[in-house]
Chains A and B, each alone.
Chain A
Amino acid sequence: MVILKYELKRHRTYILGWAIALALCIFLMTPTYYSFLDAASVELFETMGTTDFYRSVGVSMEYLTSPLGIYGFLTSFFMIASGIFGMHFGISIHTRECTEGTSEYLFTKPFPRKAIYWAKALTVFVGVAIVGAAYLLASLFAMAIFRSGTPWGEFFLIALSLTLVTLFFAAMGLMVGVLFSRNRSPLLTAGLVVFVEYCITSFSNIVSNRAISFLSPYSFFGAAEISKAGFYDLRYLGWCVLLFALFLVLSYGVFLKKDIQFRS
């Protein structure tokens, strides 16, 4: 608990910064996009419907022009940002000890490595939960203020999917951070991985290949599918949980055994 407390304090500004940024973005952009639902904008949507745009983002024109569709569409883009946050946080919480040269301080204190690992993982997960909660609350306010009659069950599932995707990337980040603890560019790494994952989902939507979609968490939580089915696809959910556990088990195992890396 001591390490968790200090790690949270150490990353307080970082977590709150992301939470406020994402909350503000969804709160301000939701009404902006709702204004597109007028007649003139529908023509634009129809024009876009002749391209692969809708397929690549995994929605239909009808869904996109519904209130929840707009929210789901926005959320799918904010998932890129939250994915970068989750992965960057997961990587950097480990790599910072090496690049900032603090590993010799922390790892020589009377705490076993497993306690340090879980304190760091918990810090990341608490950070993700805070960002997710801020996003959910801001979304809730935005929907309640700007659009009444929202189907709340589906709304919560879509809003929660941002947290789940972020958690997934956080676990992946923890693994990458443990495996490559000398990585001096965690933000670049996170950005690249998240972008590639997003492209994989777009590609799998365009070529309609479900097998490829299992390679990216963005496929697991498509807003249109959630609205259609009323819940997450259980096969995707199970696969997501499996990968999440795999990332944690792998990073935990390596963390316990590997030599601590030093700045010099």
Chain B
Amino acid sequence: MSEQAIVLNQLTKHYGTHRGINDLSFSVNEGEFFGFIGPNGAGKSTTIRTLMGLIHPSGGNASIFGLDCQTKASVIARDVGYLPSENSYYENMKVRDLLQYTADLYGMDCETKMYELSERLNLDLTRKIADLSLGNKKKVGIVSAIMTSPKLLIMDEPTSGLDPLIQQAFYDILKEENSRGTTIFFSSHVLSEVQKLCDRVAILKEGKLVGIQSIKELRESGYKKVSLTAKTTIPRDFWGLPGIANYTESPDKTSVSFMYNGNITAIIDKLHLLHLDDVLLEEPSLEEIFMHYYA
């Protein structure tokens, strides 16, 4: 399982003068559940579309299972299930017909898995795609990508539009596929779902790779965002703890907020000493992670 499923080597894509991705180099091991996160417009879809051979890189190269993504795209596709971020299915077809088309394009009989996945995701196969909601269209894409039992699943923002129950069923399906040896490349802008599922994560910002970390490391060194309002003023030196950053306070110094990267018990002990009106201890947004953790 130590072979590399995906290798990006200084992959660059520019759209004229517009930035796409710049000098991306990283690899994904076979059997790995790999997260790919970044805010909207960071270049996640551009990277994936280059991997799928849909667009040609301006520089560098990428390979999947040792095959060049540009020259061997159709050979690679045989082992890849791809879920695009946008729903991209023939609207005038029925769900069953579209899934059958997928099976025919792969030259496979996927009926059993198609029915099993559709049942688990609560997808009605008899409906016309044009009549489906956004979430149901996403389910069609998920079934279409997974039903051919590919060696690699590339999923671009797969959970957008899915309700929480279906999201959980989808996560379970992905975990099962991964446990069977399927490599999963999971793109998202939701840090929490990537943290829940992935072994490692690559973080993209403005087309550049900010870092690659194991989820364990990310969690251990992760920031928390603390926002609170007290009945009395809170002097800045009250905290006296390492790991506080981006400290902001209201003019009357009764409301403060900051990023905290340290022992969570220590900060709770400090909070006990205050007469609090309100407190919010939350996971920072991805933007905040970028600003404070990777700046």
Q: Spell out A's residues near B (CB within 8 Å).
A: 2-3, 6, 10, 100-105, 107-113, 115, 257, 259-260, 262-264
A110 and B75: CB pair below 8 A? yes
- In Å, the complex CA distance between A10 and B92 comes to 8
B86 and A110: CB pair below 8 A? no
Q: Which residues of B contact A264 (CB under 8 A)?
A: 86
A112 and B84: CB pair below 8 A? no
Q: Which residues of A contact B80 (CB under 8 A)?
A: 108
In the complex, identify which listed stretch (B99-107, B249-257, B262-270) lies at the interface while the others stay far away: B99-107
Q: A10-B92, A110-B74 are in contact. Are A260 and B86 (CB under 8 A)?
A: no
B104 and A2: CB pair below 8 A? yes
- In Å, the complex CA distance between A100 and B86 comes to 11
Shortest Cβ distance from A92 into chain B, in angstroms?
14
- In Å, the complex CA distance between A104 and B156 comes to 11
Name the contact of A259 in the complex, choosing from B56, B90, B91, B107 (C-beta under 8 A).
B56
Q: A103-B54, A259-B54 are in contact. Are A111 and B86 (CB under 8 A)?
A: no
Counting contact residues on chain B (CB < 8 A from A), the size range is 20 to 34
B90 and A108: CB pair below 8 A? no
Q: Which of A104, A259, A260, A263 has most B Cβ within 10 Å?
A: A104
Q: A108-B52, A111-B105 are in contact. Are A262 and B86 (CB under 8 A)?
A: yes
- In Å, the complex CA distance between A28 and B75 comes to 52
Shortest Cβ distance from B293 into chain A, in angstroms?
30
- In Å, the complex CA distance between A257 and B104 comes to 26
Name the contact of A105 in the complex, choosing from B75, B78, B84 (C-beta under 8 A).
B84
Q: Which residues of B contact A2 (CB under 8 A)?
A: 101, 104-105, 107
* 27 A–B contacts, CB within 8 A, in A order: A2-B101, A2-B107, A3-B105, A6-B104, A100-B91, A101-B86, A102-B89, A104-B49, A104-B54, A104-B84, A105-B84, A105-B89, A105-B90, A105-B144, A107-B53, A108-B53, A108-B54, A108-B82, A108-B84, A109-B77, A110-B77, A112-B73, A115-B74, A259-B54, A262-B49, A262-B86, A263-B88
Shortest Cβ distance from B222 into chain A, in angstroms?
32
> Looking at chain A's contact residues, is the secondary structure mostly helix, strand, loop, or mixed?
loop
- In Å, the complex CA distance between A10 and B101 comes to 12
Q: 3 tightest CB-CB pairs across the interface, nearest first?
A: A104-B84, A259-B55, A112-B74
Shortest Cβ distance from A264 into chain B, in angstroms?
6
Q: Which residues of B contact A104 (CB under 8 A)?
A: 49, 52, 54, 82, 84, 86, 88
Shortest Cβ distance from B152 into chain A, in angstroms?
12
Name the contact of A110 in the complex, choosing from B49, B105, B144 (C-beta under 8 A).
B105
User: Chain A residue with minimal CB distance to B55?
Assistant: A259
Shortest Cβ distance from A3 into chain B, in angstroms?
8
- In Å, the complex CA distance between A108 and B73 comes to 8
- In Å, the complex CA distance between A108 and B92 comes to 20
Q: Which residues of A contact B54 (CB under 8 A)?
A: 103-104, 107-108, 259-260
Shortest Cβ distance from A189 into chain B, in angstroms?
22
User: Chain A residue with minimal CB distance to B15?
Assistant: A259
16 new A-B contacts, CB < 8 A, other than A104-B54, A109-B102, are: A102-B90, A103-B88, A104-B84, A105-B144, A107-B52, A107-B54, A108-B53, A108-B80, A108-B82, A109-B105, A110-B74, A110-B78, A112-B73, A112-B74, A259-B55, A260-B49
User: Chain B residue with minimal CB distance to A5?
Assistant: B104
Shortest Cβ distance from B261 into chain A, in angstroms?
36
Does B87 have its Cβ within 8 Å of any Cβ on chain A?
yes
- In Å, the complex CA distance between A45 and B74 comes to 61
A110 and B106: CB pair below 8 A? yes
Shortest Cβ distance from B54 into chain A, in angstroms?
4
